[in-house]
Amino acid sequence: MKFELKVAYGETISLLDIEASDAANALKQAESQGFSVLNVKNASGFQFKPSFSKSKFNLMLFSQELLALLESGLSLVESIEALAEKEQQAESKAILSQVMAALYEGLPLSSALESVPQVFTPLYVALIRSSERTGDMVQALARHVAYQLQIDAVRKKIITASIYPVLLIIVGGLVVLFLLGYVVPKFSTIYESAGNDLPWMSQLLLSWGRLLQEHGKEVFFIFILSLTVLLYTLSRQAVRAAIVKKLWLIPTVGETMRIYQLARFYRTLGMLLCGGIPLITAMGMVSSLLQTSLKSSLDKVTFDVREGKPISAAMEQHGMTTAISIRMLRVGERTGQMGEMMERIGAFYDDEIARTVEWFTKLLEPILMMVIGLVVGLVVVLMYMPIFELAGNIQ
């Protein structure tokens, strides 16, 4: 089977075709030739990431602790030894021991980290390799720690803003399930003798109650099966990609998602440029962070920049900027501080995303409360409507 690999060699990103029995074998062949594999794709277009399993190794903590030890005056080998000795988690200790063994063999840190691709990403390895050439590893680690803290801060804001709406949906759903699964069947028994004298909506609701009484186990089994199928469907990469594609078509939501993608793109690209990685190489490395349409736009930007076009003009032409970012890019070109300027653009976008998320959650919370209240209220009214009618007849 033929596989197409996106590989990095030094500062060059290129495509490599390899004949292999499977994706893992193709990956091994490329690594044996000295390439760093970014992804593997076969003829059908299936993408195979070189991370075989999710590792429990905390890359952020490793960077922070290594930075602290290097700033304290310890050598690189002494720092890795200290981190390996204090580590209690077996998997992390094994990874650090593997890195330490590579350093003992005389390999640079970048090559040692490259031997553990499931933990150390190509971006991280490239940043370390660049710092080895310039001799500023401490600054590179500090830059990566700051970058990761900023990315995590944005992610935490989004997660925190989502907690209350999710709790509302869960609690509201449980209340509705309790009413439909327990209270309504009780009322259906009480109203059995009323026959067709009940309002038709009440009859419909109480028919559901009788169904649960007579076939409760079957209904519960179908509900669990449907929920399992739904969760499995949503776990498929193709389904999630299709949902995201539809979300991009919604004007406000799509623009917010685009801004989020651009924020991560600019911040990562700025970090790599500040680390001394050439622009073309850096853009090739961060393309995997983008959604498909933006990735194709970046490919066009890369081609234009390689042909000698200013990056600000190329970005503007292919829709990779906003009114603010294009002006900041032009300033970066004039001052020669493109890396720092891209990091500032990323920070500007992060603030804009935080404001959008805050506004959205403030709007969503009361809407959810109204919807849940209406559903619960409707169920209760339909259950008690026969009693209201009976009271009216007595009067």
Q: Which long-range contacts (C-beta less than 8 Å, at least 24 apart) are formed by 278-282?
A: 278/11, 279/305, 279/311, 279/338, 280/305, 280/306, 281/8, 281/11, 281/12, 281/13, 281/126
Domain shared by 189 and 83, yes or no: no
pLDDT band at 36 (very low <50, low <70, confident <90, very high): low
Q: What is the pLDDT of residue 42?
A: 66
Domain shared by 145 and 170, yes or no: no
Residue 155 lies in a domain: no
More confident residue, 38 or 260: 260
Cβ contact 96:80 at 8 Å: yes
Q: What is the pLDDT of residue 46?
A: 47
Spatial neighbors of 215 by CB under 8 A, at least 6 apart, are none
Query: Amino acid identity of 293?
Result: S
Domain shared by 335 and 354, yes or no: yes
Say which CATH number the domain at 247 has: 1.20.81.30
Q: Which two tokens stand for residue 323?
A: 């009114």
Look up the domain containing 18 and give its range: 2-48
Q: What is the pLDDT of residue 182?
A: 77
Spatial neighbors of 27 by CB under 8 A, at least 6 apart, are 5, 37, 40, 48, 50
Number of domains in the chain: 3
Q: Is the pLDDT of residue 389 over 50?
A: yes
Q: Is the pLDDT of residue 49 over 50?
A: no
Neighbour count for residue 212 (Cβ, 10 Å): 19
Domain shared by 198 and 85, yes or no: no
Domain shared by 230 and 317, yes or no: yes
Spatial neighbors of 64 by CB under 8 A, at least 6 apart, are 145
Say which CATH number the domain at 37 has: 3.10.20
Q: Which two tokens stand for residue 199?
A: 């309002």
Q: What is the pLDDT of residue 48?
A: 47
pLDDT band at 94 (very low <50, low <70, confident <90, very high): confident
Question: pLDDT tens-digit profile of 177-226?
Answer: 787 777 777 776 666 655 556 667 667 777 777 777 777 788 788 888 98
Which secondary structure element, helix H or strand E, spans residue 366, and what is its range? helix 338-394
Question: pLDDT tens-digit profile of 274-297?
Answer: 878 888 888 888 887 787 778 888
Cβ contact 63:141 at 8 Å: yes
Mean pLDDT of the chain: 79
Domain shared by 93 and 232, yes or no: no
Cβ contact 83:65 at 8 Å: yes
Residue 70 lies in a domain: yes
Q: Which two tokens stand for residue 104?
A: 């003992």
Q: What are phi and psi of 227, to 5 degrees?
A: -65, -40
CA distance 211 to 189: 11
pLDDT band at 134 (very low <50, low <70, confident <90, very high): confident
Domain shared by 221 and 289, yes or no: yes
Residue 154 lies in a domain: no
The mean pLDDT value for 19-35 works out to 70
Neighbour count for residue 221 (Cβ, 10 Å): 11
Spatial neighbors of 20 by CB under 8 A, at least 6 apart, are 1, 3, 26, 29
Percent of the chain residues topping a pLDDT of 70: 86
Question: pLDDT tens-digit profile of 50-68?
Answer: 444 455 788 888 888 888 8
DSSP string covering 64-116, please? HHHHHHHHTT--HHHHHHHHHHH--SHHHHHHHHHHHHHHHTT--HHHHHHT-
Query: Amino acid identity of 121?
Result: T
Domain shared by 182 and 219, yes or no: yes
Q: Which two tokens stand for residue 88?
A: 């209690």
Spatial neighbors of 282 by CB under 8 A, at least 6 apart, are 269, 272, 273
Q: Is the pLDDT of residue 340 over 80?
A: yes
Residue 281 lies in a domain: yes
Tracing tokens 């009940």 back to the chain, one arrives at 198
Q: What is the pLDDT of residue 190?
A: 66
Domain shared by 340 and 376, yes or no: yes
Domain shared by 131 and 233, yes or no: no
Domain shared by 229 and 334, yes or no: yes
**Angstrom distances, CA of residue 123 to CA of 63, 113, 287, 356:** 14, 11, 11, 29
Q: What are phi and psi of 342, to 5 degrees?
A: -65, -35
Domain shared by 134 and 189, yes or no: no
